[in-house]
Chain A
Amino acid sequence: MWTGVQASPTIGAGQTTLYFTWGWPADSHVLWHLMPSTAAVGAPSLDWDVAVERANQTQCTYWITVKNLTAKALTFELRFAVLS
């Protein structure tokens, strides 16, 4: 297994944003999750959902919907883990 950070974007207060990342080998098992870089104590900051598109015979595109649950802008890491 190996892990990485695909991007470190900022999302506005209360916003929902769709991110996509393309050209991933469809044979690989890739999981996505988020980690806020900005501290916000007392409640969850970010929620997310993952969807996937088969772009061609060998590649796929991941679509990650990110929701900022707080009333201030947040920077976060869009993280992946290639499991196999």
Chain B
Amino acid sequence: MPPSITLARAEQLFALCNGRICCPCSTPAPCIPFLYPDNGCWARAHEMCRLMIADGAQPEKVWIRGWLAVSSHNKPDCLVNWAWHVAPTLQVLINGWPQTYVIDPSLFNEPVPLATWKGIQGDPSASLTPTGADQYWPDGGTDPTYAGTNSDLAHYRNVLKLRSAGADGPPPYTNCMVQPAGTQWFGLIEGNQTRRWFTWGWPAGTHVLWHLMPLTPCPGAAQLAWGVAVERANATQATYWITVRNLTGDRVRFAGRYNILP
């Protein structure tokens, strides 16, 4: 068994892997297509192991087999079905005892205990098989040169890019999401586009502030800027006009948010 690490170190390694997340519309290599959960987990897991090993860690892998079904807002129909799935694991010291934690940014936003990882996949009778980091396929086989990994990642980057460029647009898919309080609308804006949205019927006596939040991850540069204008529609109501500017060449899904100040 590899040496145990702290949870803080596991979180650091999670961030190392998740920091390689692909911008879904451009998917520049060597990014990892976490936002295409449908397929390719074996290549993502192998690449994550490579990154963690290069950072001095000793990951392993866990394979799960069963009738797996996972809710995901990164697939247009909101549901991913797998016969098997794989992710890297780390031994984490919790209250002095080593516990297996899973690094799987396609499912979670942080390292999670093995039971949590299994529990979300919808099949209580699914089987778990731990292996070393070197195993590439569920039934064996390795990829020591990462040639297969690179080829498979390139394929799934392209599949993600094609989906994002098509009618579905880039993830996340807002039909799979609950609109949070303080979000007036979900929007999609094309690359380098400037568009204006309006929202009417707001009480003119109320202090309302507007801002935007991109929902489509794309690390490295600012994605959206915005301006707000206002129309006094009648004695009591106002209409806000929000101009959204996409600073990138990629499509971006976003949330239009407001706050009512006291």
A→B interface (CB under 8 Å): 20, 26-27, 29-31, 49-58, 60-61, 63, 83-84
Q: Does A29 contact B182, Cβ atoms closer than 8 Å? A: yes
B→A interface (CB under 8 Å): 18-19, 21, 105, 109, 180-182, 209, 211-225, 247, 257, 259, 261
Q: What 16 new A-B contacts, CB under 8 Å, besides A31-B259, A53-B220, A83-B261?
A: A51-B223, A51-B225, A51-B247, A53-B218, A53-B223, A54-B215, A54-B216, A54-B218, A54-B223, A56-B18, A56-B21, A56-B219, A63-B221, A83-B209, A84-B182, A84-B259
Kindly provide the distance from the CB of A50 to the nearest chain B CB, expressed in whole angstroms.
Answer: 7
**Complexed CA–CA distance, A47 and B23 (Å):** 31
Contact A52-B213, Cβ < 8 Å, known A29-B259, A57-B105, A83-B259:
yes
**Complexed CA–CA distance, A51 and B211 (Å):** 10
At the interface, is chain B mostly helix, strand, loop or mixed?
A: loop
Q: Does B182 contact A52, Cβ atoms closer than 8 Å? A: no
Q: Does A27 contact B180, Cβ atoms closer than 8 Å? A: yes
Across the interface, A54 reaches (CB within 8 A) one of B18, B213, B225, namely B213
Across the interface, A63 reaches (CB within 8 A) one of B213, B216, B218, B222, namely B222
**Complexed CA–CA distance, A27 and B224 (Å):** 16
Q: Does B223 contact A52, Cβ atoms closer than 8 Å? A: yes
Q: Does A52 contact B259, Cβ atoms closer than 8 Å? A: no
Q: Does B225 contact A49, Cβ atoms closer than 8 Å? A: yes
**Complexed CA–CA distance, A84 and B211 (Å):** 12
